Amino acid sequence: MKKGFIFDLDGVIVDTAKYHYLAWKKLANELGFEFTKEQNELFKGVSRKRCLEILLEIGNRTATQQEFDTWMVEKNVDYLKFIENMDASEILPDVPKILEYLKENNIPIALGSASKNAKPILEKVGLLPYFDAIVDGNNVTKAKPDPEVFLLAAKHLGVNADDCIVFEDAVAGVEAANAAKMISIGIGEKNILKEADYIFNDFTEISISFIQELIEK
């Protein structure tokens, strides 16, 4: 059967976690508390709304609905400033090698991300033309670990869910791929992403022959 490849964005294609961190840290500091890089790990793959809820829990703060909405907007305005000058140099190593191989072999490619900023980021780094479908935070109602984002991506690609392969750096994302009955490939640490079918530190460890095997399986 025809295979489809689905990529998460943040932490898989580009390392935006550092910019998300700077924006959340700025907000935390304005609200009078600290936010550490370790705590930022909890935010990977997590929707913007849920991130703010966790941030407020960390700072032991409550918010009115109006404050909550204002802070969501403020964080995103700051994040957009931090990513304003992003370019192709921020693409994670060997990602283009894999995308190029899939394109050459007419294998459909989708993005499956929680971010509402996914499309402009792909545009900035010049990878938008590789993607046949983009499903992001603007198109889904249920956040990862719910499989909605990946199931919708498979639908857009016209590929059966169990013929899809997902690249993910977040635990919630690996869980979402597994729940969608897709092959999950964790990009990151083995002890964190242990639920994934395969785990690599980054794309430099992924060979073209491995991709070929996945396509032919």
* Site of interaction with ligand G6P (CB under 6 A): 10-11, 20, 43-48, 51, 76, 114-117, 137
Active site residues: 8, 10
Interface pick for Mg ion out of 4, 7, 8, 148 (rule CB under 5 A): 8
* Dist. CA 55–CA 8, nearest whole Å: 23
115 CB contacts (<8 Å, ≥6 apart)? 9, 10, 16, 121, 136, 137
**Closest separation in Å from C-beta 149 to Mg ion:** 11
Cβ closest to ligand G6P, residue 55 vs residue 98: 55
By a kind-dependent CB cut-off of 5 to 8 A, residue 114 interacts, out of Mg ion, ligand G6P, none, with ligand G6P
The answer to whether 123 is annotated as binding is no
Q: Which stretch binds Mg ion (CB under 5 A): 4-12, 118-126, 128-136, 147-155?
A: 4-12
**Closest separation in Å from C-beta 47 to ligand G6P:** 6
* Dist. CA 100–CA 104, nearest whole Å: 6
Sheet with 4-7, edge to edge strand ranges: 133-135, 109-112, 4-7, 164-168, 183-187, 198-200
CA angle 186, 167, 79 (to 5 degrees): 100
Q: Which residues bind Mg ion (CB under 5 A)?
A: 8, 10-11, 45, 169-170
